[in-house]
Amino acid sequence: MFAYAVSNPLLDRYDPYWVCRLSALKVAYVCVVVFILNAFFKSPTVPVLQMLVTAVAVSATELPPINSQKKKILAYIGVIVLCVTTNTLFGLVSYFKWGQLIAIGAWTFVLYHFIAKDGATANIVGVLVLIGIVSLEGGVATDFNGAINHIFFYIEYAAVGLMALVLFPNMHDHIVKSAALRLLELDRRWLMGNFSLQEFEEQTIASLLMIENQANQVSPAIYALMPILKSLQLEIRADLSLAQQRNEVLLAQVEEIYEAIKSLQRVPSVENISSGHDVLDSKISQTLRDLAKYWNAQCLA
Amino acid sequence: MLSLNFRKRKAQVVGLIVFSLWVANLLQWDEGLWVAVSVTAIIGPFSPSLTLQKSRSRIIGTIAGLLLATILEIFLRYNHQLVFIIGFLLAYCLGFTVQQNYRYFIMVVTIAICLNFEYLNLPFTSFEPISFLISRFMAVLAGITLFLFIQKYILGPQNARNELAESTQKLANHISDALGQIAQASHESAKMGIDLAMDLSSQSESFKELLAASDYGLDAPCNELNQARKIDRLKQRVTSLLLDYSYAEQDRSGAQSQNILKLQKRASRLSKILNQPNQNQVLNA
């Protein structure tokens, strides 16, 4: 499907590293699963809250710090437990005028106290409290009997969501390949001389960080592109004079590898990647040759 | 150990949420709970500067979301069998925007919540999209106004200043650590310069976000802001130095060994400067 190719010119503009596409596919897929589930379950209320909580937990698993399967499962369960506790508690106290304010304030404080250690974790607490307050609009349970019924219903949806999440195919290699494409695009622009050093450094580091974040989520063969790409970026950056003059030979080599990664095909003429004019050019050509050879040998399976 | 400023902000955030709920209860509007929902959503980013910056996106996203939700509600009234498709598309857009653009994310969330609520309250819902739109818009606007007023005029910019100063100090420490590692690196050092540059960049992400939003949180340019901008420039230079070092490390020919020594000396000098008690003077110099 064209939107799910490694590179799509339109989507790459908004989602350069494939992260949003992956997250969107995952949330939509889990939603379809819970919609189907809804056809067979008898819910105590309209089940959008349970679906919302499941969707939020799935979204949380795609956040950058959650970068391994174990962390994803733990984060999913953690978000579900905290969301369900918050919604249940807010529902139980929603009956009281002042008691509601005191209990919501106290629980919010407890969440911030134990979970918020920096801005990012404080953000998670914000989302939990937000869903808790949103849940007050729906048919909340104000007695223990109703609350337990609701909790089981949350758990049913969450368990199915977790199963769907575990069965979701691993597509993180697309993120590494997208990041490699962004690096080669940078090199191309650098070689054409229309890029500042600061921009080059910032974007190189951003792309490398994106690959590093996938270390535990892709096969070691794909992750092993990292050292080659690091060397390539350092070598291309090293000769500032390259930016001043258009280097046709190197540019053609970069272009060839770029097209191969983009279309997930072999680099056709690895041995033709010739050495450049000076020492640095030949080093860059050697690294490009290594990259092409490695791509052909390890990354196409 | 959490800073006093961070703990103070926690208390402010809890206070704001409770106060907005109290206002929602007091007003007894049709969609009054959205006062609290709006305040809680804006407070999400936690930092005063970021919350003020995001409140703009929140206003635009909410208005766009409400308009689209109204259109969708009218559409679904006559095509209720398509709710599955709309739900699927909304879920897809939600997943896409969650890490892409806060404004669009808020727009999609608003649409999703509006439609959700209509279905949650199905037996009682009025199905009058215009009155629904107006009452929800009133509540959202009241929530945003309440937040902006309290944040700007009651809580003030002090918290934002302290936060920026703390974040700047933290980044300065990270820079100093990275320089220290280069200055004392042996030839068999495990971490290359490029790895240190990557670490430094990921450690400075929240700082950069905060610096970009500081115009919203701080009333006027102040010492903390100047200091933060200087540290940001220094970070860029140190990143370049680390990359130079990494390249020299990768290629240990005769000339590069001399380069390594030169870069280590530069790193050592910068690290000493950063560790001096009066950094401000040094940075100005």
What's the ipTM?
A: 0.84
Instruction: Kindly list the residues from chain A whose CB atom is less than 8 angstroms away from the CB atom of residue B10.
Output: 109, 112-113, 116, 122
Q: Rounded distance, CA B3 to CA B26, Å?
A: 35
Q: Which residues contact B58 (CB under 8 A, 6 or more apart)?
A: B38, B41, B42, B102, B106, B144
pTM > 0.80: yes
Instruction: Kindly list the residues from chain A whose CB atom is less than 8 angstroms away from the CB atom of residue B236.
Output: 198, 201
Q: Rounded distance, CA A67 to CA A214, Å?
A: 7
A35 part of contact set with chain B, CB < 8 Å: yes
pLDDT, residue B98, reads: 83
Look at residues A48, A50, A90 and name the one whose alpha carbon lies nearest to residue B112.
Answer: A48
Whether A62 sits inside 8 A of B98 (CB atoms) is yes
B46 part of contact set with chain A, CB < 8 Å: yes
Token match 């050093």: residue? A197
Q: Rounded distance, CA B158 to CA B13, Å?
A: 15
Whether A48 sits inside 8 A of B18 (CB atoms) is no
Q: Which pair of tokens denotes residue A75?
A: 């984060």
Alpha-helical regions (H) of chain B: 4-27, 33-43, 48-78, 83-97, 102-120, 129-149, 158-183, 193-203, 205-217, 223-250, 254-275, 279-284
Q: How many CB atoms lie within 10 A of CB B170?
A: 17
Strand, helix or coil at A264? Answer: coil
pLDDT, residue B283, reads: 56
pLDDT, residue B285, reads: 47
pLDDT, residue B252, reads: 59
pLDDT, residue A46, reads: 67
**Chain-centre distance for alpha carbon A237:** 28
Q: Which residues contact B37 (CB under 8 A, 6 or more apart)?
A: A130, A133, A134, B113, B139, B143
Token match 């919609």: residue? A35
CA distances from A91 to A134, A263, A272, B20 (A): 11, 52, 69, 18
Whether B243 sits inside 8 A of A201 (CB atoms) is yes
CA distances from A124 to A105, A241, B12 (A): 17, 47, 17
Q: Rounded distance, CA A250 to CA A261, Å?
A: 17
Q: Rounded distance, CA B117 to CA A19, Å?
A: 30
Whether B246 sits inside 8 A of A234 (CB atoms) is yes
Where does residue B156 fall: left (phi above 0), alpha (psi -120 to 50 degrees), or beta otherwise? left
B160 part of contact set with chain A, CB < 8 Å: no
Tens digit of pLDDT at every position of chain A (301 positions): 566 788 888 888 889 999 999 999 998 999 899 888 888 877 767 677 888 889 889 888 888 888 888 999 999 999 999 999 999 999 999 988 899 999 999 999 999 989 888 777 888 888 899 889 988 877 788 899 989 999 999 999 999 999 999 999 988 999 999 999 999 999 888 888 777 888 888 999 999 999 998 888 888 989 999 999 998 998 888 866 555 555 777 888 888 899 988 888 888 876 666 665 565 667 888 888 889 888 888 877 6
Q: Rounded distance, CA B193 to CA B197, Å?
A: 6
Q: Rounded distance, CA A286 to CA A268, Å?
A: 16
Q: Which residue in A48, A55, A118 is closest to B94 by CB distance?
A: A55
- How many alpha carbons lie under 13 Å from residue B45 in its C-beta half-sphere? 19
Q: Rounded distance, CA B261 to CA B244, Å?
A: 12
A234 part of contact set with chain B, CB < 8 Å: yes
Q: Which residue in A58, A122, A205 is closest to B197 by CB distance?
A: A205
pLDDT, residue A6, reads: 82
B99 part of contact set with chain A, CB < 8 Å: yes
A248 part of contact set with chain B, CB < 8 Å: no
Could you say which DSSP state residue A3 is in? G
Stretches in chain B below the pLDDT threshold 70: 1-2, 117-129, 185-191, 252-256, 277-285
Whether A127 sits inside 8 A of B22 (CB atoms) is no
Q: How many CB atoms lie within 10 A of CB A250?
A: 22
**Which candidate in B12, B103, B120 is best for mutational testing of the A interface (most A CBs within 10 A)?**
B120
Look at residues A65, A63, A55, A57 and name the one whose alpha carbon lies nearest to residue A27.
Answer: A55
Q: Which amino acid is at B206?
A: S
